[in-house]
Structure 1
Amino acid sequence: MIHSIIKTQQSFSIVHGMPEPENDRDVVWLDVAAPTVEESAMLRQRFGIDTGSKNSSVTEDDSFLYMRSYLLTLDANEVPCFGHVTFVLGQQVVATLNNEEGFHQFSIALQRLNRKQANAQSPKEVLRVLLQVANDSADTAIDRIADELERSAKEISEISDGYNAQGKEMGVTDLLGTMRSLNETEELISKCVEAQLSLARAVRYLGGEVDNVTEAELQAVVNELAGDVVGVKEHAYFEHEKVRYLQNAVTNILNIKQNQIVKVFTIITAVFLPPTLVGTFYGMNFAVMPELSWQHGFIYSMMLTLGAALLPLAYIKKKGWLR
C-alpha cells in the first residue's frame, strides 16, 4: 500500500496509491506499507527507490540514504507496539518503508506538515518532521507505560500492607502475578530504549546531511530534535530503573512472606513437640503406670501436656519470635 503526499501551493494533500506521472515532481513523501511486487517495481522505476531489505542499518546509493529504524508507537487499542521502518532520504523526495500495514506511526504527520508548511520546504525538513512525530509517539507510549507502573506500585503497596479490600490476607500467589507483570514491563521498557537508540541514530545521520552554512536554521531544529530524542530515551531509562526497583521490592516482600510462613510452621512444631513427647510416654506399654490408678490421673496428664505446650510458647514469646 502506498500513500503519496503531494505539495501544492496551498497545502499538503494525500493520494492513495501512486500519483499521476506528471505529478511526480510534486511528491514530497511516499508512505509505503507492505508493498506488493508491482508497487515495488513502480517505485524503483519512477523514483529510483529500492524497497528490498538492507543488510545494514544505514546504507546509501547514488540517489538515496536508507536508514532502518526500530520505532515505538501506540496501536488502535492504545497498547505500545513496535515496528521496523526504513527512512529513505533523497534530493527530491522522502519515503518511509515498513512491512506491516497495521503499523501507523505517522498518522498525524500530514496534519503537522499542513500546520507548519514553512518548516517542510525540502526533503530534509520533511524527514525532520517525520522523526519528530516518531519521537513524540514514543514519548506518549512511554508515558502510558509509566501510568501502568504507577498502578503496579499501588498494587505492591497493598500487598505489602498484607490485606486486600475484602480483608483477605494477600500471599505469595498475588506476588507471583505482580512479578510476572513487572517482568513483561521490563522487557517492554528495554524495547523502548532500543527504539530510542535507533531513532537517535536516524536523527544523527540526518544531521550529517544538513549543511551547517546554507541550512543553519534546519541544523538548529535538528539539534533540538536530537536533544528531544535523548530526553525521551532518558525517560525510558528512568522507567526501566523504576521497574527494577519494583521488582526488588516484590522480591523482598515475597521473601518476607515466605519467611513468615516458615516461622509459623516452625513455632507450631516447637509448641506441639513437647506434648507429642508426653503422649509418646503414655503410649508405652509398661506394666506399672501409677497415673492409671489415680483418681485425677487423666486431668494430671492433660495439665502436663498443656504445660509442655505453654512452656516453649512462653519462651518463644519472651524472645520476641512471634513478631
Structure 2
Amino acid sequence: MMTTYTVADGRLAMRDGILPVGDLAGAVWIDLLNPTPEEGRAVKDALKLEIPTREEMQEIESSSRLYREDDALFLTANFLYGVEGGEYGSTPITFVLSNSALVTVRYATPKAFSSFALRCQRSPGLLATPDAVMLHLFEQIVDRLADILERVGSDMDRASAASFRSARSKVKATTRDHDLREALITLGQVGEVTTRANETLLGLTRILSFVGAEKATAVRKENQSLLKTLVRDVRSLVDHAAFLNGKANFLLDAVLGILNVEQNAIIKTFTVASVALMPPTLIASIYGMNFRHMPELDSTFGYPAALLLMVCSAALPILYFKRKGWL
C-alpha cells in the first residue's frame, strides 16, 4: 500500500494508492507498506530512485544497509514492533532520503509510524522538508522506545516485588508458585523486549552516525540541532536498556535461587521422612522373619510393644533433627 503526504499552503494532503508521476514527484513523504511491483515502478519513474527489495533490506552487511547512491541516502535498520499485542518482533525498514522526498519501505507497522501520521495531520509543519520528516519520525520512534522501556521496567518491578513478597510471607504454596512463575515469564519478556529494543537503538545509532557524516548535503542547517538531540537521546536509551537488561538478569538469578531453595526444602523433607522411617522398617523386617523361637511371639504385649518401638524409633530421629535445626 502506498500513502503519500504532500504539504501545500500549510495544509496536509494525505492520499492512498498510486498517483500520477507529477503528484508523486511533489510529495514530501511516500510511505510504502508491503509495496507491489507497480508501486515500486511508480516511485522509480517519479523520483528516479530504485526501491530496495525485501531480500536486500534483510542483508546484515553495513555496506548493504547504509549507502549513498547519487544524491539519495539509503538507510536500513531493524525496528521493534507489535509490543502492544504481545506478538512483538523486529522488521527491517528502509528510509530513502533525497533532496525532494523521503521514501519509507516497510513490511510491518510499528506504532510510531501510525502515531507520527496522526501528528502530521495536526501539525503539517513536521513535513516541511524530507530530512525534517525523517528526523521527526526518528524522534517519534525514540519516544516510543522510551515508553516501551519504561513500561517493561515497571512490569519487572511489580513481578519481582510480588515474587519476593510471596517468598518472605507464609502464603500457600500454590500462590507462591504462581507468583514465581509469573515473575519468570515477565523477566523473560523483559529480556526479549530489551534485546530487540537494543537492536533498534543500534540500528538508529548507525543511521544517525551515517547521516551525521553526510549532514552537509543530507540535512538542512535548521534541522542539524534535531540530529544532535536524537544522538543524545538514543545514547541515553542505550544506557537505560543495558541497565534494564542487567537488572532483569539479576532478578532472574534471584528468582531461580528462590526456586532452588523451595526445591531443596522439599527434598530435605523427603530425606528426613525416609531417614525417620528406616528404624521402623528395620524393626518390622525383624519381626516379619519366620523364625520358630522368637520370645515376643508368645508375649501378650508383644504386638503393641513392637508398634510402640517402631513409633519411638521414628520419633527420635525427627526430634534429633529439630534440635539440630535441620528442620
For normalisation by structure 2, the TM-score amounts to: 0.86
Match of 1:229 among 221, 225, 234: 234
Quote the Cα distance in structure 2 between the aligned partners of 1:24 and 1:300: 102
Bigger fraction of residues in helix = 2
Deviation at 1:17, TM superposition (A): 2.5
Cα 1:43/1:225, change in 2 over 3 Å = same
Report the equivalent of 2:154. 147
Moved more, 236-245 or 264-273: 236-245
The one-letter code of the counterpart of 1:300 is: A
Residues paired across the two proteins, number:
318
Cα 1:127/1:177, change in 2 over 3 Å = closer
SS at match of 1:92: coil
The one-letter code of the counterpart of 1:199 is: L
Deviation at 1:130, TM superposition (A): 1.3
Deviation at 1:64, TM superposition (A): 1.2
Match of 1:109 among 85, 102, 116: 116
Deviation at 1:171, TM superposition (A): 6.6
Structure 1 residues 173-192: aligned runs within 5 Å: 175=180, 178-192=183-197
Task: Point out where structure 2 has 5 or more consecutive residues left out of the alignment.
Answer: none
Cα 1:173/1:215, change in 2 over 3 Å = closer
SS at match of 1:35: coil
Report the equivalent of 1:3. 3
1:275 aligns with 2:283: no
Cα 1:173/1:270, change in 2 over 3 Å = farther
The one-letter code of the counterpart of 2:311 is: L
The one-letter code of the counterpart of 1:145 is: V
Report the equivalent of 1:319. 324
The one-letter code of the counterpart of 2:76 is: R
Match of 2:133 among 126, 129, 137: 126
Task: Point out where structure 1 has 5 or more consecutive residues left out of the alignment.
Answer: none
Deviation at 1:116, TM superposition (A): 5.6
Quote the Cα distance in structure 2 between the aligned partners of 1:133 and 1:23: 27
Quote the Cα distance in structure 2 between the aligned partners of 1:170 and 1:93: 57
For normalisation by structure 1, the TM-score amounts to: 0.87
Deviation at 1:302, TM superposition (A): 2.3
The one-letter code of the counterpart of 1:98 is: R
Cα 1:23/1:177, change in 2 over 3 Å = closer
Deviation at 1:75, TM superposition (A): 6.1
Quote the Cα distance in structure 2 between the aligned partners of 1:110 and 1:286: 95
Deviation at 1:194, TM superposition (A): 0.8
Deviation at 1:168, TM superposition (A): 4.6
Deviations 1:158-195 (A, max 9, x none): 5424665xx45457687456535533432232111111
The one-letter code of the counterpart of 2:148 is: A
CA contact (8 A) 1:5 1:28 kept: yes
Q: Percent identity?
A: 26
SS at match of 2:70: coil
Quote the Cα distance in structure 1 between the aligned partners of 2:67 and 2:264: 57
Report the equivalent of 2:106. 98
Quote the Cα distance in structure 1 between the aligned partners of 2:22 and 2:41: 18
Quote the Cα distance in structure 2 between the aligned partners of 1:115 and 1:206: 27
Cα 1:78/1:7, change in 2 over 3 Å = farther
Report the equivalent of 1:46. 46
The one-letter code of the counterpart of 2:104 is: T
Deviation at 1:22, TM superposition (A): 3.6
Deviation at 1:3, TM superposition (A): 0.8
Deviation at 1:97, TM superposition (A): 0.7
Report the equivalent of 1:33. 33
Quote the Cα distance in structure 1 between the aligned partners of 2:68 and 2:304: 97
CA contact (8 A) 1:210 1:218 kept: no
Quote the Cα distance in structure 2 between the aligned partners of 1:174 and 1:151: 10
1:200 aligns with 2:205: yes
Cα 1:90/1:116, change in 2 over 3 Å = same
Moved more, 251-260 or 173-182: 173-182
SS at match of 1:27: coil
Quote the Cα distance in structure 2 between the aligned partners of 1:96 and 1:194: 19
Cα 1:169/1:3, change in 2 over 3 Å = closer
Cα 1:259/1:278, change in 2 over 3 Å = same
